[in-house]
Amino acid sequence: MFTPELRPQPDDVAARKPGGRWSWMQAVIIILGLLAVAGLAVGVLQAADAAKGTAKSESPVLPAKTNLFPVVIKRPPGPPQVKTSLTNFQGQPVLVSCSSCHTTTKPNLENRSAADLDQFHQGLKYQHGNLTCLSCHNSGNYDTLRLADTQTVEFADNMTLCSQCHGPQRRDYERGLHGGMNGHWDLTRGGRTRNTCINCHDPHTPKFPQVLPVLPPRDRISIPAAHAATTGSTAH
């Protein structure tokens, strides 16, 4: 009923020689079948190729790593300056460089921390292993620092100094795993700023201090006491 063209009609020209029409139909069906098989085979082969391709190349093609935005490290601009007790005419403290005093003061190699001093740097908290002032400060030029092998190093390059002892942290920093960052994970779309050691760690007391946390959320899951009270009242 739904395929009337297959039913021989008396006025159909082809029906006068049904053998010829049926053999023609069979030929068409066989050709279509062959095409379908061939198509299937090609499809399977392509799928296999694709599977091989994905297995081989672990990651897809990424945009070329050219024209990357810069990673800026927040280095200190130069040697630090110390506040004096004086103020200028605008009421701002007068700053002096370290060498202002230290060029005329003879360094005392026996001073181990600020507690040993009787004039300046009073109240400076110091807790950094067994290091002394002159482990890092350069007695030859107080506007610079010194490495363990007595080489001079600028304040801006403080990471070189810290890395002498803190190698694993430096290694992780180079890999982007230590010290945090701001900006873009995708350097093809924007830049990034990174810290140096002293942006997070006070070089004299490098251990991260205790802080008060941000207030906790006020939801039911995070309040164990309230949870215990409700389960207790229902007497399981």
CB of 190 to another protein, least distance (A): 5
Among 18, 78, 80, 190, binds another protein (CB under 8 A): 190
Q: Output Rg (C-alpha) for the chain, integer angstroms.
A: 40
Between 81 and 199, CB nearer to another protein: 199
Query: What is the distance between the alpha carbons of residues 28 and 65, in angstroms, rounded to a whole number?
Result: 55
Q: Per CB under 8 A, does 95 bind another protein?
A: no
Angle value at C-alpha 109, between 108 and 113, nearest 5 degrees: 90
Task: Provide the 3-class DSSP secondary structure of residue 4.
Answer: helix
Element (H, E) at 81: strand 81-87
Query: What is the distance between the alpha carbons of residues 32 and 16, in angstroms, rounded to a whole number?
Result: 26
Q: Give the range of 16-24, 110-118, 120-128, 216-224 binding another protein by CB under 8 A.
A: 216-224
Q: Per CB under 8 A, does 53 bind another protein?
A: no
Query: What is the distance between the alpha carbons of residues 89 and 45, in angstroms, rounded to a whole number?
Result: 85
CB of 3 to another protein, least distance (A): 19
Among 2, 211, 232, 236, binds another protein (CB under 8 A): 211
Q: Per CB under 8 A, does 184 bind another protein?
A: yes
Among 53, 123, 168, 232, binds another protein (CB under 8 A): 168
Query: What is the distance between the alpha carbons of residues 192 and 11, in angstroms, rounded to a whole number?
Result: 83
Q: Per CB under 8 A, does 180 bind another protein?
A: yes
The answer to whether 73 touches 173, Cβ cutoff 8 Å, is: no
Question: In the stretch 101-130, what mask flags binding to another protein with x, by CB under 8 A?
Answer: ------------------------------
Query: Which residues touch 52 (CB under 8 Å, ≥6 apart)?
Result: none
Q: Per CB under 8 A, does 66 bind another protein?
A: no
Query: What is the distance between the alpha carbons of residues 80 and 122, in angstroms, rounded to a whole number?
Result: 17
CB of 183 to another protein, least distance (A): 7
Between 59 and 85, CB nearer to another protein: 59
Q: Which two tokens stand for residue 39?
A: 């198509």
Residue numbers at the binding site for another protein (CB under 8 A): 58-63, 65, 168, 172, 175-186, 188-190, 195, 200, 208, 210-219, 221-225
